[in-house]
Structure 1
Amino acid sequence: MRQNDEVRIQILATSDMHSRILEGEEGAYIYRAGTYINDVRTHYQNVLLLDNGGSLAGSIVSFYYAIIAPYKRHAMIKLMNALNYDASGISANDFKFGLDFLNRSVALSRFPWLSANITYAMTKEPYFSTPYLVKTFDGVRVAVVGLTSDKMVRHENIEMEQDIAVEHAVTASKRWIRYIHEVAEPDFLIVLYHGDRTRERHTVEGDVENQAQAIVKEAGIIDLIITGHQYETMSDYEGRTAFVQAGQNSEQLIHIDVKFRKRRNTNELLTITPKIVELESYEESQDLLKMTHYDRKAIRKWSNEAIESKNFQFSYPSFSVLLQERHPFIQLLSDAIQYAIPNDITCVHVPLPTSVDLEGNVAHQDIYHTYPHPDKPLDIALSGADIKKLIEYSAAKLIVDHQQVTIDAQQDPTLYQFWTGFDYTIDMSRPKHQRVVAFGLNETHSYRVTMTDYCYRHYRQQLKGVTIHQSATMTMPELIYEILCKSTSLQVEENNVSIIGYE
């Protein structure tokens, strides 16, 4: 075979970069990735640079651009434009701050965002207009189609549901991959799927369908599938399909070397050779650092702004401590949502699976690291029976360990609800879903409740026909900051929950 009969294409893939643009101790590897990407472009003619989504949420930087300074041009988009990304997939987390923020980011991008199963709610046409991309390298046609885990999107943002619909990823893949093969006739087809090859996120309903493997088995000819969200970097094969996971935060990236032999009328795929590139050894790109100098300076200035003359004590050593009596941290969360929507009954949850200290002199970054999600309070009407049902779901997550009540290690602690405004008792000696006794509300009456949209999103399948009266405009981190800035000290209410039957 003559050398000029061979075509080589270098595919570089990143995923879940989470807007990590603060260099140094914050571990922003995007600048090291920039050095590697430019080096590959220097040595190879045919380079395809892809991101698998998750670049717009997941760090204090993303929160800053979405909530604090939405009028500013997002520094992550500036970096991806400068690196000349060819396309990006879309993750569920990219919807975390709502459609307006995502649409603004897409509009500022010089590359397409691909998702074949995110559609307009009314017309069912692709919402981002470009579900796939075709590029030609020395006569070799490469198609890239994007898919997003529908299960993850459903739990991310309820306010966008009147505008978009999320088709089942496997169903959409069957239709679009068949269409692309018929119309574009690619020599090589890549799927950007933002979901996990080995697992999907556990939901309240317990649905853990593995969509990535189903796409490969059912959708038709796929040469390479790039998955995201699982935060691991790996390469493997599923039959003839190369499977790669592109990690997170650009700590590594995937470099796939694809070789073709040119025939008279076709191009024969010879080899697909993926490798994991560790970026720790590469220098940061000084050009990229210079580009974001003032962005990083502004973010750090805001992050370090502290609440003056306050010494707060809201930390908790373990989840079981929160169950023993009314805790100041739970009181802080309850006061925060009542500040936005002042109903007598509130429902809050811990924002992270693990405890994070919030004590001493508190700055914006401390609040963010304690509550990193843009959850918003909802004003919702629930019957007493609905409220009792939700409490039963929480009580079912509890276990007794060494004569102490705590949450089952197999359960997500962020889905446990802390209610205020009425008294109730949880009897651990009773069967699951029958543990709530001495319930202080009338089950046939309707009550106005302030709860986070996170709680509602994850439990709405158990709530039929409820009315949402309003959604607050401020997020929980902003509301916590407002409460902490008030001159009066936090008044912890008397404990309204009794847990019995375990001694």
Structure 2
Amino acid sequence: METSDLHGSILPIHYANNEPNEVGLAKVAALLQKEKERAELEGGFVLAIDNGDLIQGTPLAYYHARIDNGPTDPMVLALNRLGYDAAVIGNHEFNYGLAVLNKAVAESDFPWLSANIVKEGTEEPYFGKPYLIKRYNGVTVAVLGLTTPYIPNWENPANIEGLAFLDAVETASRWVPYLRGEEGADVVVISYHGGFEKDPETGEAAEVPTGENQGYRLCMEVPGIDVLLTGHQHREIAGKTLNGVTILQPGYLGQHAGAVRIMLVPDGDGWTIAEKTSELLPVNGVEPDAELLALAQPYEIATQQWLDTPIGSIDGDMTVRDPMRIRMKDNAMIEFINKVQMETSGAAISNTALFSDEAPGFPPRVTMRHIVSNYIYPNTLKVIRITGRDMLEALERNATYFTTDGNGKVAINPKFAVPKPQHYNYDMWEGIEYTLDVSRPEGSRVVRLTHRGEPVDPDGEYDVAMNNYRAGGGGDYTMFQGKTVVKDIPTDVSELIANYILERKTVAATVDGNWEVVTGR
């Protein structure tokens, strides 16, 4: 049984409005219990693995990590109660820093696996043993943990200090023969917090090969793998094999549990796999586990009280009714976040994104619930020094978010929607004036770019405020990598937004119209 990319989701609710939602570990728990009962009747056993991105993502997780980190991590507490056998380190595990992560690992009754996250300068896995061995009635199952090695391209360097991230394929190539030979594994499972860089069915490239996702290569280049559990891309993949490897990816937030069923038959002194299947078990309509709900209740009460804390007022309209419209023309909500970043950092230029189509914007009366519903990531703020040429290149990268259909209507480029929505990789800028004409070929869509009314100088230098993910080049904004950091503000942007409103009590919605997206200009 696999969960992956739970992102702090225990309860089946939308935190933006507390409406019911068909997600969460409490629902998965009921499915897991049924599978354990079924396995017992059939004389087998269940291995429960969480595939990473566990402790970050909901207000409940944020409250625990940032506001009251004293109690046991609620996600760890839940997995302990459910008897999980192991968890894999995901990229979002580092978002709150190593102290928070190490505490969660120490509180776990199960091992955290990642063979390719090592102590800097060594090949020694940072989180202890890189694999799990399960022996049952003479059968030996090995589970090797791997994590996308692309983390240094996203994460705040302070949060991964002293760590090195090795190539996942090379690491698997070293460990799989060891598990087969030294540990005598009858079944080798890789639980990899990463996805597929190529379509598992056609082999066609699904993305630029950066090394972020290496699932296809793992199946094709590393002999001896029976099962590959994946995640990171939030895809729903089951019922497929790739080069003889059974593959699985169960979506995100606990919308599904993933199940791989393996039938083994005796073969001399060992065992042979007679059958392997994979499937997704949806949580729709499943009654959540009452014990898990009770376990989460103290955390939930504190979180809900915090979420309902009044912050201040908005004078004007900062709501989001149409996400596409927000991304097409300057608007009050995005301008406000950029203004917070600029005034906090002292930078004259800023960029930010509308991270999700579910972002509601800010109503007339603002609480913490509205802050974390719009700014959903624990990003911090950086000011980096870039050239005008970097700025132009970033805006051209931005403009690839859009495409046009046969009638000239603007639509989202499928590369930003499939297999995983990447709305967070489209930025909107303040402090410069620009126009993107998306009817033009990619690479030539910036038709206006000025700063304070003057053309941006390709060789000129400009200080720009942006979140730490983007400043590190996240989202393939490689033009930002390695730039001089003028200022590093190690406070969550959501907290900066809340403080800004708290100090002013009332914030006016303003729109200066500095940018727009057009067709045919």
Q: TM-score, normalised by structure 1?
A: 0.85
Distance 1:311 1:77, change over 3 A: farther
Name the counterpart of 1:168.
167
Is residue 111 from structure 1 mapped to residue 110 from structure 2 by the alignment? yes
Q: What is aligned with 1:212? A: 215
Indicate whether 1:417 and 2:416 are aligned.
no
1:334-371 deviation digits (Å, cap 9, x = unpaired): 12213431222222232225653432333222222222
Paired residue for 2:11? 22
Residue 3 of structure 1 corresponds to which residue in structure 2? none
Per-residue CA distance 1:261-320 (angstroms, 9 max, x = gap): 445532333333545444456543333222222122112222222335656621244456
What is the total number of aligned residue pairs between the two structures? 491
Q: How far apart, CA to CA, are the structure 2 residues paired with 1:408 and 1:254?
A: 29
Structure 1 unaligned spans of 5+: 1-11
1:349 matched to which residue of 2?
353
What is the aligned partner in structure 1 of residue 229 from structure 2? 226
% of aligned pairs identical? 25
Mapping for residues 322-471 of structure 1, pairs under 5 Å: 322=326, 326-352=330-356, 356-395=360-399, 397=401, 408=413, 410-411=415-416, 412-424=422-434, 432-434=442-444, 435-437=446-448, 439=450, 440=454, 441-456=456-471, 457-458=473-474, 461-463=478-480, 465-471=482-488
More moved, 158-167 vs 131-140: 158-167
Given that residues 353 and 414 in structure 1 are in contact (C-alpha distance below 8 angstroms), is that contact kept between their aligned partners in structure 2? no
Decide whether the 8 Å contact of 2:359 with 2:373 is kept in 1: no
AA aligned opposite 1:452: N
Question: 2:301 is matched with which residue: 286, 292, 297?
Answer: 297
Tell me the CA shift for residue 177 of structure 1. Answer: 1.0
**Cα deviation, residue 460, structure 1:** 5.1
**Greater CA deviation, 154-163 or 100-109?**
154-163
Query: Where in structure 2 are the equivalents of 1:8-157 lying within 5 Å?
Result: 12-23=1-12, 25-41=20-36, 44=40, 46-151=45-150, 154-157=153-156
In the superposition, relative to structure 1, how do residues 213 and 389 fare at CA in structure 2: closer, same or farther (>3 Å)?
Answer: closer
Q: RMSD between aligned alpha carbons?
A: 3.4
Call closer, same or farther: CA 1:83–1:413 in 2, change over 3 Å: closer
Contact 2:314–2:506, Cα closer than 8 Å, also in 1 = no
Q: For residue 294 of structure 2, what is the amino acid of its counterpart?
A: K
Check 1:30–1:463 CA distance in 2 against 1; reply closer, same or farther (3 A cut): closer
Alignment-mate amino acid for residue 512 of structure 2? E
Structure 1 range deviating more: 334-343 or 408-417: 408-417
Structure 1 residue aligned with 2:317: 313
Whether contact under 8 Å (1:427, 1:437) holds in the other structure is no
Say which SS state the counterpart of residue 245 (structure 1) adopts. strand
Cα distance, 1:39 vs structure 2: 4.7
Q: Is the 8 A contact 1:407 1:413 kept in 2?
A: no
How high is the TM-score relative to the length of structure 2?
Answer: 0.82
Question: Relative to structure 1, is the Cα distance of residues 184 and 482 closer, same or farther in structure 2, using a 3 angstrom cutoff?
Answer: same
Question: Do the aligned partners of residues 379 and 273 (structure 1) sit closer, same or farther apart at CA in structure 2, a change above 3 Å counting?
Answer: closer
Cα distance in 2 between the residues matched to 1:425 and 1:274? 48
Distance 1:116 1:379 in 2: 34
Whether 1:476 and 2:493 are equivalent positions in the alignment is: yes
Q: CA deviation at 1:243?
A: 2.2
Could you say if the C-alpha distance between residues 298 and 384 of structure 1 is closer, same or farther in structure 2, counting changes exceeding 3 Å?
same
Secondary structure of 1:307's counterpart equals: strand
The Cα of 1:80 is off from its aligned counterpart by 0.5
1:7 alignment partner in structure 2: none
Give yes or no for contact 1:388–1:436 (8 Å, CA) kept in 2.
Answer: no
The superposition leaves residues 440-464 of structure 1 with CA deviations (integer Å, 9 ceiling, x where unpaired) of 3444343332222232232552246
Any idea what SS the aligned residue of 1:352 has? coil
Aligned partner of residue 299 in structure 2, secondary structure: helix
CA 1:300–1:465 in structure 2 vs 1: closer, same or farther (change >3 Å)?
closer
The farther-off stretch of 109-118 and 202-211 is: 202-211
Larger Rg: 1
2:438 and 2:47 map into 1 onto residues whose CA distance is 57
1:260 aligns with 2:264: yes
8 Å Cα contact 1:310/1:360 also seen in 2: yes
> Which moves more between the two structures, 39-48 or 379-388?
39-48
Task: Identify if the C-alpha distance between structure 1 residues 421 and 204 changes in structure 2 by more than 3 Å, giving closer, same or farther.
Answer: farther
Q: Distance in 1 between matches of 2:401 and 2:255?
A: 35
Q: Once the 2 structures are TM-superposed, how far is the Cα of residue 192 of structure 1 from its aligned partner?
A: 0.6
- How big is each residue's C-alpha offset from its partner over 1:58-107, in whole Å with a ceiling of 9 and x where there is no partner? 32222222233333322111010111211112222323333333222112
Give CA deviations for 1:194-226 in whole Å, capped at 9, x if unaligned: 2234759x9995758862232122111112222
State the distance in 1 between where 2:246 and 2:400 align: 42
Instruction: Tell me, in whole angstroms, the C-alpha distance in 2 between the residues paired with 1:130 and 1:324.
Output: 49
Contact 2:105 2:112 in 1 (8 A): yes
* Counterpart amino acid of residue 427 in structure 2: Q
Moved more, 134-143 or 331-340: 331-340
Tell me if structure 2 keeps the 8 A contact 1:149–1:193: yes
